[in-house]
Amino acid sequence: MKKLLVVDDEEEICDFLKAFFEEREFDVHTAHSGAQALDSVKSASPQVVLLDVHMPGMDGMSVLRQIKQGYPGVKVIMVTAIETQEKIEEAMRLGADNYITKPLSLEYLEKDVQEKISLLTGKK
């Protein structure tokens, strides 16, 4: 089963993404903070993580760094309210697999997530 972790401090955002991807037969886990996200990566071992950049406490960038260090096989898609060039470059340097802005286009997001997963399964 395709496993997805959605990380956002806004519960409502996690909720609709969960509903959306569950309808598409994903096993969706959610986390509302950086710390929770790292726990979930460890316990649920998702294939793809949708990671919000701006979160109170540990922000998306440090979560990204730790995921990529500990679990290099996990694909991470960064989600943010504003795109700045520096942030994009920083994310790319840390190994992010894509960088998308809010409001989200679910069609695009679904396509992207599917693509990342097929990349993973293709490798295997």
Partner 1 sequence: MGLYLKKRKRFLKKVLLGLILFSSGAAVFSALSLFLKQRAGLLWISHPLFLLLMMTLVSVTLYKPLDSAVTQIFRNYFNRKKTFRQITLMNLAEELALILDLKELANLIVNSFGEVLQLKTVALAVPCRMRGDFEITAAYGWSVSDYRKIRLPDSSAMLTFLRQNGPHVQVRERAVRMMSWQDANKLTQDFDALRAAWIIPLYVKDELTGFLAFSAFSPDAVFDESDFQFFREFARGVAKSIRNALSVQELKAANHELQDIQSQLIQSTKIKAIEQLATGIAHEIHNPLTIISGKAQVLLLKKDRAALDQQVEEVLKTIVKQTKRAADITRKLLMFSQGSGAPKEPLKLEQILDDTIALVSYQTSLDGIEIAKTIGSGIPRFYGNVHELREVFLNLILNAVQSIGSQGRIHVEMVYQAVDEILTVQISDTGPGIDQDHIEKLFNPFFTTRHDAVGLGLFVTKQIVHRYGGSIRVESQKGSGSLFIVRFPITASSQPIAQREEAVPLSLFPEGL
- Taking the complex as a whole, the smallest distance from the CB of residue 95 to partner 1 amounts, in Å, to 12
Measured from the CB atom, is 11 or 124 closer to partner 1? 11
**Residue 111 C-beta: closest distance to partner 1, Å:** 10
Q: Between 10 and 39, name the residue whose CB sits nearer to partner 1.
A: 10
Give percent helix, percent strand, percent coil of the chain, each to the nearest 5: 50, 20, 30
Residue 50 CB, nearest distance to partner 1 (Å)? 12
- Helix 106-123 and helix 11-23, axial crossing angle in degrees, nearest 10: 60
Query: 39 or 89, CB closer to partner 1?
Result: 89
> Distances in Å between the alpha carbon of 1 and those of 4, 21, 53, 88?
10, 12, 27, 30
Measured from the CB of residue 43, what is the shortest distance to partner 1 in angstroms?
Answer: 26
CB nearer to partner 1: pick between 35 and 81? 81
Instruction: Give the residues lining the site for partner 1 (CB under 8 A).
Output: 10, 12-13, 16-17, 19-20, 23, 54, 81-86, 88-89, 92-93, 98-108, 110
Q: What three-state secondary structure class fits 111? A: helix
